Amino acid sequence: MAAVTAATTAAVNVSMTVSMTTATTAALASDAGPPHTDAPGRVCPLRYRYGPQAIARADVREADTLYVVGGLYGNVPALDAIEAMARAESRAEGPAPTLCFNGDFNWFDVDDAAFAEINRRVLACDALLGNVEAELDAPGDDAGCGCAYPSSVDSGVVERSNLIHARLKATAARHPELLARIARLPMLARYRVADCRVGVVHGDAESLAGWRFDVAALDDPAERAWLGSVFEAADVDLFASTHTCLPAMRRLPTGSGREGCVVNNGAAGMPNFTGDAGGLITRIATTPSPHPVLGEVRVAGAWVALLPVRFDAPRWEREFLAQWPPGSPAWVSYFERITRGPAFSPAQAIGR
Ligand SMILES: [Fe+2]
C-alpha cells in the first residue's frame, strides 16, 4: 500500500489533526495567507464550551462494558460491525455492552435512507453531540461544519468540509423528527466502570470542538500542566474523546499524583492507519477485551482498550461513492484516506 502524502493527509479529517511535525504542518498551510479564525469551519462557537466542572457535575451512569464510538461518519457497514462486536460480547458474558456514540456519527450519510438508518440506530443508544450534529439545526451557517479547524489546515479542506456539511444539513432538514431528537443530545457524559470514573466528550475537557486531546497535544510538554489539572477538575480517572480523527491512548499524571488516562478513538468509521481500512472504537470494561486490541491498559480497575473495527470495506466504498462520486467535495477530501488510510501508525497511537 502506497504511503499517503502529507498533502493528502491534510484532506482527510473532518476535524483535521495538528498531530504532524512542524515541517509537515507548515506544508499543509494555505498559500493564500493566514485564514480568518472567524470564518465558517474555523470558528469554535461559544456554546460549545462546558468546562471540566460540568463533567464533574454530570449524573453518573454505571456500566460493566462501555463502547465509546466516536466518528462513525455515516458509515453503515462500520455500525453493523460494531453492533456485531457488542452482540458477540453479550453472547459470551451476559449483559450487552453499553454503546455511547460520542459525536460525529453523521457526515457522509447525505442519502435520506442512510441518514435515517444511522440516526435511528445511534439514537437507540447513548449518544452525544459532535460538531457535525451540533450544527445541523444551527439557524445560520456561521460556524460551517463547527470543526474549529486550526490555521495549519488548508483552506480548501475547510471549504469542502463546509460544502459537505451544507449538504448533510439539507438532508437532515427532511427528517425533522430525527433532527429534534439530535438537538436534545448532551455534549458530555459521565460513567463509572469498576472504580474508574470516566468522562466522555467529543473534543476535550473544555469544549465540544477542542483539540487538546489530539495526539500532538497529549505529547506536548507545554500542555502537561493543563492535562494534569483537568482530571481533578472533572473528577475523573479517564477521558474518552474523538474529534481529531487520529487515535491516541496516553497515561498521564494527574494533579493529585494519581495516574490518569486519555483515550481518543480517532475514527470508528474511517481508517486510522496507513494501509488499514478499519475503524477504531474505545472499550472500557470490568473485564479484558474478548476482541483483538490495538492496546489495552488498566485504569482505576477498568480495562481500557482501542479495538479495531473490521467492517466490510468494499461495501462501504460502494456506498460512499454512491453518495459522493469522483470530483465531489467528500471524494476530493476523503477518498484517498478511505482507500489507503492516513499517514499514521499504531505505534504513534499507543505512544511506543
Ligand atoms: Fe468533530
* Distance from Cα 257 to the centre of ligand 1, integer Å: 31
Over the stretch 60-82, which tens digit does the pLDDT of each residue have?
Answer: 999 999 999 999 999 999 999 99
* Distance from Cα 68 to the centre of ligand 1, integer Å: 14
Over the stretch 193-227, which tens digit does the pLDDT of each residue have?
Answer: 999 999 999 999 999 999 999 999 999 999 999 99
* Distance from Cα 130 to the centre of ligand 1, integer Å: 5
Question: Considering the entire predicted model, what is its pTM?
Answer: 0.88
Classify residue 191 by burial, with Cβ atoms within 10 Å: 0-12, 13-18, 19+: buried
Spatial separation of the C-alpha atoms in residues 280 and 82, rounded to whole Å: 10
Neighbours of ion ligand 1 (CB under 5 A): 15, 104, 130-131, 243
Rounded mean pLDDT of 41-70?
A: 91
Which three-class secondary structure state does DSSP give residue 72? Answer: coil
* Distance from Cα 163 to the centre of ligand 1, integer Å: 16
* Distance from Cα 72 to the centre of ligand 1, integer Å: 10
pLDDT at 141: 65
C-alpha to C-alpha distances, 245 to 18, 75, 152, nearest whole angstrom: 10, 14, 15
- 299: pLDDT strictly greater than 90: yes
- 233: pLDDT strictly greater than 90: yes
* Distance from Cα 256 to the centre of ligand 1, integer Å: 30
